[in-house]
Every structure is written in C-alpha cells, then in structure tokens.
A and B are shown apart, each in its own frame.
Chain A
Amino acid sequence: MKKHLKKIISIGIVLAVYALVIVLVQSGALSRHYQSLLVPIGINVILAVSLNLTVGFLGELTLGHAGFMSVGAYAGCLFSIYCDLPTAIEFPLALIIGGITAAIFGVIIGIPALRLKGDYLAIVTLAFGEIIRSVITNLDFLGGAGGLKGIAKYKSTASGFTTVFVVLIITVIVILNLVKSRHGRAICSIRDNVIASESVGINVVFYKLLAFVTAAFFAGVAGVLYGHNLGILKPNTFDFNKSIEILVIVVLGGMGSITGSIISAIVITLLPEVLRGLEDYRLLIYAVVLIAMMLLNNNPKFNTFKENIKAKLRPGKKSAAENASVDINATANVSENAAEKEAE
C-alpha cells in the first residue's frame, strides 16, 4: 500500500511540475530569459543524473562527460540533418542514435580507462574528452571549429520543454530502476569495497563498464537535445570545463542522490540568471559559493547544526504528514502513529 501511495504521489508531483511550467510559459508569466533556460535545465538534469551513476554510485571520478555529450550530439544531429522522416519518427531515432554512438565510445574508452583508479582515471577521461574535441574540430564534415549548422530547432518553447521533460523522466526512471536492481547493487558494492565485491563473485570489470556506458548513453542523448535547442553545435562548448560543470552539479547535489542531482542542476543552471544584476561578480560569487559549500559540508560544527535544525523541523513535518494521511486511511494511521511515538 505504502509503496503504491509513494508512486502515485511522485507521478502527481511530476505532472504538476509539468503543468505549472506549461501554464507559466503559455500565459507569458515567465520572462523570455527564464523560458530560454527551461531546455538547458532539463539537459543539465539528464547530464547530472547520468554522471551520478559513475561518480556517485560506482564511485569513480570521470571528467569526460562533455566528450560523450559531444559525440552523441554530433551523431544524432547529423542524422536529423540528413534524414527526411516525419519529426515524430526522426527525432526519437536521432536521440537513440546519439545515445548509442556515445555508448559505443563509452565502451571503447571505458575498457582501457577503467583499469585505472582515482585521479588517474579522472585525468585519462579528461584527456579522452579533449581528444574527441580536437578531432571534431578537425573534421570538415562536422563543420570544424565553425560548428555544425542547420539543425532543426524545436517549434516552440513549450514543445522544446515537453520533449526534454519526457526524456528527462525516462532517464531518471531508467537510472533509478537500474540502481535498485541486482545490477545496481553490484555497482554500489564496487564503490564501497572492490576487493570484497570480487570475493563474492561480482564481475567488477563488467559492472564498472555498465555504469560508465549507461552514463555515456544518456550524455549522448542530452547532446542531441542540446543540438536541437541551439540549431548549431560548436566543438568548444564541450571542453573539460563543461565536464567540470556537470561534476560540480553532482557533488553539490550529493553523491548518489538522484533528487539532489535534479535540484542542484536546476539551481546551478538558474544561478547566472538570478545573479544577472550582478553581472561582473557572477563568476566570483559562484566560485565563493562553491568553496563555501565544500568547506561547510566538511565542518563538523556545521553538520551538527544542520542535524539540530533537521531535528527541530521534523516534528512539524511529521504532523503535516499525519494530517495528510488521516484523510486517506484514518484507522490504520492511528496505530502507526502510536507505534512511532513509542519508538521515540
């Protein structure tokens, strides 16, 4: 019962968020600037959630996510430029082609790179990302440094948002389901203790690759969405700074927390817009916030402070939850509350 209720609530929230954004867009309540950020937010969520699979759940530091994004973007967008199918068929196909191409690169890069650990893996994935970027710049049929032009754009803000939103939901569901399966547990076990994983027969090489390639797939899909939002792809947008930006989103949102990644992607993408009035100081503030967040999260005093606040907030929250559930099932609730209070 409880599980189903949770599911229904999640679906409700998702639909409500979607409806709210569409209403805001159609009524013109959202400024043009904010409207233009809707698709980038969705894309960053997809990138962050997928990178979290490798960084948060597998526990391996990779700095080449932008590389996979670019490979997918170019493959998918090239397909939609040269293909003449109805959009309803062509676009999903482009997404899949982008994803699969990125995944293939994930396999090619992952097999050698994943033998390395920690900082070495980070630098090698960064190197691969930069190699991909240099090579794309040198390929004329991909538009070179000038960029790949003529990619069909979304018809409207609403249709762009709808597309990205659907893909985002699929991404989150796939990654959540993967994590909460025997395969996902194998991935998390590698993060916690590789030697123990091997000792219970987990194929460490395979599951590392699985997480890495799945993340690459969704980065590729995000790349295709990105290309169709701008109508042009430039290799320099996919440099290591883009990879770092996604990594920052994941770390700020919390390693291994999908919800955290989603919230963090929204906040970080909106931040420049929110700080628009401060123009010149934007980057500086971003840097300071980043450092401060890292220092605070590691400050024992701040952590106890945070726990205290959480504890103080909890009674209030609980009573709200109680009120909500009373409406649904009054009798079952009474006994549950009693049990909870006793436990405290």
Chain B
Amino acid sequence: MALLEVKNLGITFGGLRAVDDFSFNVEKGQLYGLIGPNGAGKTTVFNMLTGVYKPTAGGFTLDGENLTGRPPIEINRKGIARTFQNIRLFKDMSVIDNVKVGLHNGKNYTIAEGIFRLPRFFKEEKELDQRAMELLGVFGLEGERDVLASNLPYGKQRKLEIARALATNPKLLLLDEPAAGMNPNETAELMDTIRFVRDKFDMTILLIEHDMKLVSGICEEVSVLNFGQELAHGVTTEVLNDPKVITAYLGE
C-alpha cells in the first residue's frame, strides 16, 4: 500500500472545476513531482491534501487512513506538513522560534507548568532548544537562530519553512515551489538538501516545481496537471519527453 493514495480528487469553485478526477499514489520514501503550467491546479491539490480546501469529489488516504476534508490541524497531526508558494513564515518571530512553533505538539508541558515555571517546563524547553538547533543545522541556519524570520534572505526563508514543516515530524512533506526565486547555484544546493532530508529523516516528499532541472534531478516519478486534469504520469524522464506534456508547456 502506498503512503499517500489520492483517488478521483476534485473540487469546484462556483461552477469552475479547478481540479477534476485526479489520482496518484506516492510510495513511502519516494520523491514525487507534481508539475504543470501555471493555473493548472497544483497548489489547489496541496490545499486539499492539507485541509485548507475541502474536496468536492474523491478523496485521499495517508497510511490507509482516510483524511479527506479533515481540518488542517488534524491533517498535520496525522503526518502531512507543507511549505507555501508565497512564503508564510512567522515573520516577527526569531528563526529558532519559528521552528519551535513547529515542534509545539511534540511537547507536553501544560499552560500552568509554563506559567509557574515547573520542572517539566525547563526540561522540555531544553529539549525543544536542542531539537530546533538540530533542524536549523540541517539547513545551515544555526548562525541565524536569533534573527527575525523576516530579515532572512529569500533563499534562507524557503529553507526555514522546510525546517519548520519538518519540525512537526511528518510522514509526508509537501513542498510548494521550493526553488522559486533561487539562482542555479542555490537550486543545486537545494536539491542536495531535499535529498539529504529524504535520506536522513526517512521522509516521503511530494513537490510542486517549475524548475525542470530540479524535477528531473531528484523526482523519481511525476504527475502532470493541465487545466485541473491529469495529462500524464509515470517515471520522470519518460513523462518529461512525452510530446503531450511538451505541448502543454510550450503550446502548439
């Protein structure tokens, strides 16, 4: 059984069919790409998989559990974490605090224990600090731990968002255009990081990307969306050479 099984997923916005009858499976440990022209409905798929939108047709399961239409908080707790196309950091909080918010549900001390500074507060806060620094270390952000997130350069903001998503200890990580706005060097570095994350955290990753170098470089399989419908899916190299896909991207 695949980790993520998406079946006949669809959503309509006021009569407009944004995504229609879309199915794909992501195996555990896989790096899966979701590609397609602008406006094809890729981010809408992410929004349905994370509970931001409720699908109007079809559904999906994670590890066999049906999570269709559940609220975002619950979906995250069940093991899906994401980043956003237009970066959404906690911009007035420090870099390390951003990650610590991601670690929030991993700790148990109560509000009273926090207010009265009881022993468990100190113990768990220390653990939080160590874990957050470990995660920042993966992305080379240890040096910026106390910088405000909004003061980070663009590339590092994207990395911080991935670190924060990983902090929630997900089974499946959704990356929405992780390389957007990066130069070729940064993109190459990001590819290494994504592979590293997959290996070190034993992670399954589904990503949306326009940078075909990145997609062909790291994705084992891809699905192509066009006008909300699946155009092709399969092994990356084959799909990218499919004339249908090329037409969709470049036009007739």
Which A residues lie at the B interface, using CB under 8 A? 174, 177-178, 181-186, 188-189, 191-193, 195-204, 210, 256
The answer to whether B90 touches A189 (Cβ under 8 A) is yes
Q: How far is the CB of B85 from chain A (nearest CB, A)?
A: 12
The answer to whether B104 touches A202 (Cβ under 8 A) is yes
The answer to whether B73 touches A193 (Cβ under 8 A) is no
B226-251 with Cβ < 8 A to chain A:
none
CA distance A10 to B105 in the complex (A): 32
A176 nearest CB neighbor, chain B only: B115
Cross-chain pairs A/B with CB under 8 angstroms, 29 sampled: A177-B116, A177-B117, A181-B111, A182-B100, A182-B128, A183-B111, A183-B114, A188-B90, A189-B101, A191-B92, A193-B90, A195-B52, A195-B84, A196-B84, A196-B164, A198-B51, A198-B52, A198-B76, A199-B72, A199-B88, A200-B102, A200-B104, A200-B164, A200-B167, A201-B104, A202-B104, A203-B73, A210-B111, A256-B92
CA distance A196 to B161 in the complex (A): 10
Whether, in the assembled complex, B81 has its beta carbon less than 8 Å from a beta carbon of chain A, the answer is: yes
Residues of chain A lying within 8 A (CB to CB) of residue B76: 198-201
Given contacts A183-B111, A186-B101, A201-B104, contact A193 B167 (CB under 8 A): no
The answer to whether B101 touches A177 (Cβ under 8 A) is no
Residues of chain A lying within 8 A (CB to CB) of residue B84: 195-196, 199
CA distance A198 to B75 in the complex (A): 10
The answer to whether B104 touches A186 (Cβ under 8 A) is yes
Residues of chain A lying within 8 A (CB to CB) of residue B168: 200-201
Which B residues lie at the A interface, using CB under 8 A? 50-52, 71-73, 76-77, 81-82, 84, 88-93, 97, 100-105, 107, 109, 111, 114-117, 121, 124-125, 128, 164-165, 167-168
Q: Report the number of A-B residue pairs with Cβ-Cβ less than 8 Å.
A: 97
The answer to whether B114 touches A182 (Cβ under 8 A) is yes
CA distance A281 to B101 in the complex (A): 49
The answer to whether B105 touches A192 (Cβ under 8 A) is no
CA distance A186 to B82 in the complex (A): 18
CA distance A82 to B51 in the complex (A): 53
Residues of chain A lying within 8 A (CB to CB) of residue B73: 198, 201-204
Given contacts A199-B50, A200-B81, contact A185 B101 (CB under 8 A): yes
CA distance A193 to B125 in the complex (A): 23
Interface SS of chain A: helix
Given contacts A182-B128, A202-B104, contact A177 B93 (CB under 8 A): no
The answer to whether A197 touches B121 (Cβ under 8 A) is no
CA distance A192 to B116 in the complex (A): 26
The answer to whether B105 touches A201 (Cβ under 8 A) is yes
Residues of chain B lying within 8 A (CB to CB) of residue A256: 92
The answer to whether A193 touches B104 (Cβ under 8 A) is no
CA distance A279 to B103 in the complex (A): 55
CA distance A198 to B81 in the complex (A): 10
The answer to whether A182 touches B88 (Cβ under 8 A) is no
The answer to whether A201 touches B77 (Cβ under 8 A) is yes
Residues of chain A lying within 8 A (CB to CB) of residue B50: 199
Given contacts A178-B114, A185-B104, A210-B111, contact A196 B77 (CB under 8 A): no
Q: Given contacts A182-B125, A193-B91, A201-B168, list 11 more A-B pairs with CB under 8 A.
A: A181-B115, A182-B104, A193-B89, A196-B90, A198-B72, A198-B76, A199-B81, A199-B165, A200-B167, A201-B76, A203-B73
CA distance A256 to B93 in the complex (A): 11
Residues of chain A lying within 8 A (CB to CB) of residue B109: 181-182
CA distance A204 to B128 in the complex (A): 21
Residues of chain B lying within 8 A (CB to CB) of residue A204: 73
CA distance A80 to B61 in the complex (A): 59
CA distance A318 to B102 in the complex (A): 36
Q: How far is the CB of A183 from chain B (nearest CB, A)?
A: 5
Residues of chain B lying within 8 A (CB to CB) of residue A186: 101, 104
A188 nearest CB neighbor, chain B only: B93
Residues of chain A lying within 8 A (CB to CB) of residue B103: 182
The answer to whether A177 touches B89 (Cβ under 8 A) is no
CA distance A128 to B173 in the complex (A): 43
Residues of chain B lying within 8 A (CB to CB) of residue A181: 109, 111, 114-115, 121, 125
Q: How far is the CB of B134 from chain A (nearest CB, A)?
A: 17
Residues of chain B lying within 8 A (CB to CB) of residue A182: 100, 103-104, 107, 109, 114, 124-125, 128
CA distance A129 to B90 in the complex (A): 31
